[in-house]
Amino acid sequence: MGQYIQVNDKVKIYVEDIGEGTPVLFIHGWPLDHTMFEYQFMQLPRQGYRCIGIDLRGFGRSDSPWEGYSYNQLADDIRVVIDELKLDNVVLAGFSLGGAVAIRYMSRHEGQGIAKLLLMGAAAPSFIQRNNFPFGAPEEQIEKLMLATLADRPQMVTDFSKIFTDKGGSASFEDWLHQHAVGASAQGTLRALESLRDEDLRGDLASIRVPTAIFHGEKDQICSFELAKLTNRGIANSRLVVFEESGHAMLFDEPDKFSEELTGFLADHSVSRSTNASDLPTMIYPSV
C-alpha cells in the first residue's frame, strides 16, 4: 500500500508499506528510489516482515523541492514517517546515500524507534577524502558528477550505472536501472550530490548503540571497501559482512547471499562486533 506523508516543511514523502510483522524500513541510494528493493518487498512479507520503503525527497514519487537535501533534513523526514506510522522495534536499512542518512538519523534522533541498523554499501563515514581522511573518493570525482548532471543527466546516469554493479546484468536490467535513476528529479540528483560532498559522519558513529550489520562489496568502485572497515570500527556492536564478488550493489551482484545474510540478520538476536578493522589508524576520530 502506498501513501504520502507530509513532513514538517510541507513536502510530501511517498511511502510504500507492504506486509505485517517486524517493520524493516528501507532507504534507497542515489539516484534511485524505494523500488530498488522490489525483490526484498516480494520475499520478506512471506517471512513475517513488514517492508516499508521511503522515496527520499527529490526521488521517486516524493516531492522535489529545491532546498532540504542535507543529511539533517533527510533524517528529519524519516523521523516524521516513523512517528506518523507509529513504528517501533524497526530494522533501519540504508543503502549508499541511504546508509549515510540512516547513520545521521541514529545520531540526530537518538535511534528513536530503531532496534537494529543495516548499512549496505554506505557512503560513510565520509564519501569524499578530507584532511586526515584519505579513504573516500577524491572531491574532483563528485564535482565531475555534478558537472555531468548539469550537462547531460541521462548520459551521467548511464556512465554511473556501469560501475554500480560488478557483474552487470541483462539489457533489461540495465534499462530498468536507468529508467528509475533518470526518473529522479534533476534538483534532487544535484543537491543530494552536494550533500554527499559536504557531509561528514565521523562524529556520528559513536552514538549508534543498536546491533548493526554492515554489508559491503569488496569490489565496490563507488564507496570503497575501506569505508566499510572504518564504519565497522566506529560503530560498537557492529559486524562487517563482506561480499567478495560484489561491486557497490551487492543485492544485485550476489542476490542469494544477500538474501541469506539479510534474513539471518533480521532474525539474529546476538549480533556482535567484528574486529577485522582493528589495524586501521585512529587519527580520523573524532571528526574535525
Within-domain flag for 273: no
Predicted confidence at residue 270, as pLDDT, reads: 52
Q: What is the DSSP letter of 133?
A: B
Within-domain flag for 93: yes
Predicted confidence at residue 237, as pLDDT, reads: 87
Q: What is the CATH number of the domain that holds 54?
A: 3.40.50.1820
Strand order in the sheet with 49-54: 2-6, 12-18, 49-54, 22-27, 90-95, 114-120, 212-217, 238-243
Predicted confidence at residue 1, as pLDDT, reads: 86
Weakly modelled stretches of the chain, pLDDT under 50: 271-288
pTM above threshold 0.85 = yes
Domain limits for position 27: 2-267
Query: How many domains does the chain divide into?
Result: 1
Q: Are 288 and 200 in contact (CB under 8 A)?
A: yes
Within-domain flag for 284: no
Predicted confidence at residue 271, as pLDDT, reads: 44
Distance (Å, rounded) from C-alpha 189 to C-alpha 195?
A: 10
Positions marked catalytic: 96, 220, 248
